[in-house]
Amino acid sequence: MQLLYTVLILLLVVGATRFSAQFIPLPPPILQILVGALLAAPAFGLHVRLDPELFMLLFIPPLLFVDGWRIPKGQFSKLRTPILMLAFALVFVTILVVGFFIHRLLPTVPLAACFALAAVLSPTDAVAVTAIARDRLQSTLNNLLQGEALMNDASGLVAFKFAVAATLTGVFSLSDAAIRFVIVAIGGFAVGMALSYFLGRLRAWMIGRGWEEPGPHVLLMLLLPFYSYVVAEHFGLSGILSAVAAGMMQSRLDLLPRQTTTRLLNRSVWTLLEFTFNGLIFLLLGLQLPDILSVALSQHDEPWRFALQALGYVFAIYAVMLLLRFAFVYIYWWISGSLRRIRRKPTRFMGQSRVALTLLLTLGGVRGAVTLAGVLSLPLLLESGSVFPQRDLLILIAAGVILLSLATASIGLPLILPRLPRDNLALRETELNQYRADVLEAAIRSLGAGEEKGDATQDAIIHAEVKARLMSEYRDLLERARVPDNLRERSRQVSELESRMRLQALRVQRLELYRLRKGGEIDDDLLMDILRDLDIAEARLR
């Protein structure tokens, strides 16, 4: 019963902190961490023992799955070069530079363990950045940070595992590690794609036999990220990349026909799950902080001196990471802009301040749940039987960097965002309307609704169409109110025929939308908006 009470309390707090964030001037992640730390205080005494492996399995796969599902694939393809540079090149540079810097600060800690800490500090958390920015971040920059977070979770944790293994055994081969990393990454991605594709074929087979009840379909999709993660990890591959790949593949397979109710239910379920899990992650992080601090301080005779020393380590390491990320991003933008100018192509962020862009992406590299789960998985003992060197201090430093990155982003991002232009909502609405017009024209052609314009002027045609539509709606309502009993059956038949024709028109619009997506003429975010409208319209008719 105690576990049940704890879960109910945590869920209640997640909801309460989201509501209170409306009038408390703090980003929800910061507020949830503070509330979690308060609940762990002796006055409340709420303690949750965090099993890193269980945490990784329960929270990380579904969140990465839904991120991979929702990220616009066209934008991901356009931004693939900066995403891969940030997610792989920057991660490896960070591991080397920050690892050697940590070893200079902590010479008693083996170099491999320092690399392990640097590796686990590499993954970023785009969810926290989105919450801090409060929808003021450009969609392109948001997609860039999300794509980086999707990929560097895998690269950072795989490098972390290699560094921990080298610490335990005292043996490390760079060539073997590089080959192994490629196999783990590509293999994990392939597993996720294969499992997601198999599930899509299974659902299509079920639908073909009339098994369209949405519950089983949604349940299968809920289980997919967990299965993808477990199967990949079982074969020694990247479970994180497997979950990401499953989500990216499922976003295409989710366009199956005759799945309107399933899509609506699926979106609602995943929205609720994403909201709950994101809140629980930061709440659990706050709950762990008092225990992490007390365990680290209890190992020293002068705890406050040690705490100040650890705080200095946190600030120094985070400062180096910020400077390194700023330099990397700035140099990349400079080289990329120069190459585009040489090829006479417009730069992606023409007219915007390169310094402001670089600062935003630098502060947007917030550390979060993956870092905490990874560092807590450090083993207690080496293979020789001796204690893992400075394990408690390494955990304390990682927790401090997470908090410092969140605090810095909460202060810095609101100052930088006004210096950058917002999304062009009018242009996006124009694109949406164009694609809506395309699918509606396909529906009109399918219903044979082509009328001759005659000699009337354009204004007269528009006036007549609007007047006829309004009068038809009012007359239909009036006829339904006055219809005699002997005509009710005919009215019912007319209504059924109208519903069937409307459903057919909606299906034709959806098929046209699928054709546009298959041809690469429309991106996922625009497609999902239009598809949601069609699904809601069909749900009303049903």
Per residue, the 3-state secondary structure of 68-127, as one string, reads: HHHCCHHHHHHCHHHHHHHHHHHHHHHHHHHHHHHHHHCCCCCHHHHHHHHHHCCCCCHH
Which residues, at least 6 apart from 326, have a Cβ–Cβ distance to it below 8 Å?
358, 359, 362
pLDDT tens digits, 345-359: 766 665 667 888 899
Per-residue confidence band for 382, with pLDDT thresholds at 50, 70 and 90: confident
Quote the tokens at residue 461. Answer: 């045609």
pLDDT at 456: 52
**Mean pLDDT to the nearest integer, 332-348:** 78
Quote the tokens at residue 43. Answer: 């006055």
- Look at residue 390 and tell me whether its pLDDT is greater than 80: yes
Of 521, 419, 311, nearest to 303 (Cα)? Answer: 311
Of 212, 203, 221, 207, nearest to 270 (Cα)? Answer: 221
With beta carbons less than 8 A apart as the criterion, state whether 72 and 319 touch: no
Quote the tokens at residue 52. Answer: 């890193």
Express the helix, strand and coil content of the chain in percent, nearest 5 each: 80, 0, 20
Round to whole Å and give the CA distance between 533 and 445: 20
With beta carbons less than 8 A apart as the criterion, state whether 191 and 228 touch: yes
Q: How many CB atoms lie within 10 A of CB 51?
A: 13
pLDDT tens digits, 196-210: 999 988 888 888 787
pLDDT tens digits, 478-491: 455 555 555 556 66
Give me the DSSP letters along 242-301: HHHHHHHHHHHHTT-TT-HHHHHHHHHHHHHHHHHHHHHHHHHHHHHHHHHHHHHHHTSS
Of 68, 218, 217, nearest to 154 (Cα)? Answer: 68
pLDDT at 458: 62
The overall average pLDDT reported for the chain is: 81
pLDDT at 254: 67
pLDDT tens digits, 209-247: 878 788 888 899 899 999 999 999 999 898 988 998 999
List the single range of 174-178, 304-308, 390-394 with lowest mean pLDDT.
174-178
pLDDT tens digits, 283-300: 888 888 888 888 878 777
pLDDT tens digits, 489-512: 666 677 777 778 888 888 888 888
pLDDT at 190: 94
pLDDT higher at 414 or 253: 414
Whole-number percent of the chain with pLDDT over 70: 84
pTM: 0.76
Report the first-to-last Cα separation within the chain, whole angstroms: 43
**Mean pLDDT to the nearest integer, 321-342:** 89
Cα 375 to Cα 53, 120, 162, 292, 379, distances in angstroms: 11, 6, 13, 11, 9
pLDDT tens digits, 445-460: 664 544 444 445 666 6
Domains recognised in the chain with CATH numbers: 2-423 (1.20.1530.20), 427-450+461-541 (no CATH)
